[in-house]
Amino acid sequence: MNKFTFLSIMLLTFVVISSCAHKTPDSTRKPLLEVEGKFLYADEVQQIIPPNVNDTDSTEIAKSYIRKWVTDVLMYENAKRNVTNAEEIDQLVESYRKSLTIHQYQQKMIEQRLPKEPTEEELKTFYTEYSNQLVLKESIIKGLLLIIPKNASKLNQVRSWVQSGNAKALENIDKYSLQNAISYDYFGDKWLPLSEILKRMPLKIEDASKFVSANRFVETSDSTEHFLLRIEAFKLSGQVEPYEMAKDRIVNILLNKKKADFITKFENEIYNDAVSNESVTFFKRK
C-alpha cells in the first residue's frame, strides 16, 4: 500500500471521534485512529491487504476493515456498559476458558504418548472384524475412460487398445491421447464411483449393478465426441468396500477411538491418584 493510499485512510480516520479521554499509543507503531481508548495501527491494516492489489482496491479493503474494527469496538464497549448479566457472562467465559485449557492439555498428552498412525496389522484386523460396517453405498470400478473427437483418426486401433488394456496398449493410448484426446483418465490402480464416470458420458443407466456386471467395454458417442470406457474390475453396491479404499477411514476411526480411550484412562488415573494421595477431601454426611 503506497503513501497515497495511506493518506486516504488517514483522512477517513479523522471522522472517528473517541468518546473517552485519549490514551497514549504505542510509540513504536504508527497509529491510524483511536476510539474508546483503543488504537488501530497502520501495520494491522497493512497485514489484511492482499499482495499485488491496486491502490483503488486496497483503499476500499482498508476502509471496510477500519469501519468494521471501529464498529466492533463501539458495540463491545456499549454492550459492556449496558448488559445486566455481566456475572453470567463471566461464568460462561471462565467455563469456556477451562474447557479450552483442558482440551489443549489433552491434545498435548495425546501427541506425546500416542503413536501417530495405527499399525498395518491393526488396520487389517479392524477391516476383517468390522467388514459388515464397511459396505459400499454405490458401485465402484477400476479402468480407463478415453474421450476423443467424433471424427478422430485411427478409431479401430484405438478401440482395440482400450479393449485390450495391456501394457503395450496403454502405452499406445498415452501417446495417442497427447495429440488426439479430449480427455484421458486411467484409473486402473484406484477405485472410483461408477456414477462419477457416467456423469462424463452420454449414458443413462437404470441398474448400475447390471451394467458393470454385463460390460467390460463400453463405447458411445454424442454429436461431437466419442467415448470409450474399459472396466477392469468392479465392486457392487452392498458389497464390502475394498481394503485400499477403506483404509483412510479405518485410520481415522482407530485414531479417534484411541484418543477417546486415552482420555478416559488419563482422567481415571488423575482422579484415582488424587484420591489415593488424599488431594481430595471428602466430607462426611451428617
The per-residue pLDDT for 80 is 86
Report pLDDT digits (tens) over 202-254. Answer: 998 889 899 999 999 999 999 999 999 999 999 999 999 999 999 999 999 99
My answer on whether 226 and 145 are in the same domain is yes
The per-residue pLDDT for 283 is 85
Residue 261 lies in a domain: no
Residue 153 lies in a domain: yes
152 Cβ contact list (under 8 Å, min separation 6): 158, 180, 226
My answer on whether 140 and 231 are in the same domain is yes
Residue 179 lies in a domain: yes
The share of the chain scoring above pLDDT 70, in percent, equals 92
Higher-scoring residue by pLDDT: 183, 19? 183
Residue 129 has which C-alpha cell?
Answer: 472384524
Give the number of domains in the chain. Answer: 2
Residue 32 lies in a domain: yes
Residue 282 lies in a domain: no
Q: Is the dihedral of CA 61, 63, 68, 70 positive or negative?
A: positive
> What's the domain range around 225?
136-235
Model-wide pTM > 0.95: no
Report pLDDT digits (tens) over 252-278. Answer: 999 999 999 999 999 999 999 999 998
Q: Where are the alpha helices (DSSP H) in the chain?
A: 3-13, 42-47, 55-82, 86-113, 120-129, 155-164, 167-180, 194-198, 208-214, 243-276
Q: What is the DSSP string of 165-234?
A: -SHHHHHHHHHHHHHH-SEEEEEEEEEEEHHHHHTTTT---S-HHHHHHH-SEEEEE-SSEEEEEEEEEE
Last residue of a domain, one of 213, 235, 257: 235
CB 252 within 8 A of CB 123: no
Residue 167 lies in a domain: yes
Q: Is the pLDDT of residue 176 over 50?
A: yes
My answer on whether 148 and 221 are in the same domain is yes
Residue 112 lies in a domain: no
CB 238 within 8 A of CB 135: yes
Residue 152 has which C-alpha cell?
Answer: 478422430
My answer on whether 71 and 146 are in the same domain is no
Whole-number Å distance between alpha carbons of 229 and 218 = 5
Residue 46 has which C-alpha cell?
Answer: 497493512
The number of beta carbons lying within 10 Å of the beta carbon of residue 146 is 25
Report pLDDT digits (tens) over 32-78. Answer: 999 989 999 999 999 999 998 898 999 999 999 999 999 999 999 99
The per-residue pLDDT for 22 is 56
My answer on whether 57 and 142 are in the same domain is no
Enter the DSSP assignment of 281: -
pLDDT bracket for residue 14 (50, 70, 90)? very low
My answer on whether 218 and 147 are in the same domain is yes
Report pLDDT digits (tens) over 84-133. Answer: 888 888 899 999 999 999 999 999 999 998 888 899 999 999 999 999 99
Q: Is 235 helix (H, G, I), strand (E, B) or coil?
A: strand
Report pLDDT digits (tens) over 130-165. Answer: 999 999 999 999 999 999 999 899 999 999 999 999
Q: Is the pLDDT of residue 13 over 60?
A: no
The per-residue pLDDT for 286 is 67
My answer on whether 142 and 221 are in the same domain is yes
Last residue of a domain, one of 235, 252, 279: 235
Residue 204 lies in a domain: yes
Residue 278 has which C-alpha cell?
Answer: 488424599
